[in-house]
Amino acid sequence: MHKDKPPGMFDFAERSIRYLIGFWLAAGFLLSLVVHVGMLVWRVDSRRGPERAETLESKTAPMRKPTSPPTAPDVRY
């Protein structure tokens, strides 16, 4: 590079190229870790059958008091 001219838009130094490559390698590694952990969690959750999985409705059903059916004047069509 000539001292009188400013560096161009794509005139990267050798060090900045290495930093850029290192950044993308690290970002790819972290992304792959997140994907692999997500796959493992999904795999463990899919092994549980629906008989073992509790929903919010099944947890709160014993806590609710049964209600009486509505009286005739309250029902409107």
Per domain, the residue ranges of the chain are 12-47
Kindly report the backbone phi and psi dihedral angles of residue 13, in degrees, each rounded to the nearest multiple of 5, phi listed first: -80, 160
> Distance between CA 55 and CA 59 in Å, rounded?
6
> Distance between CA 41 and CA 35 in Å, rounded?
10
Report yes or no on whether pTM surpasses 0.85: no
pLDDT confidence of 46, banded at 50, 70, 90? confident
Q: Where are the alpha helices (DSSP H) in the chain?
A: 14-47, 56-60
- How many helices (H) and strands (E) would you count in the chain? 2, 0
Confidence check: pLDDT of 39 > 80: yes
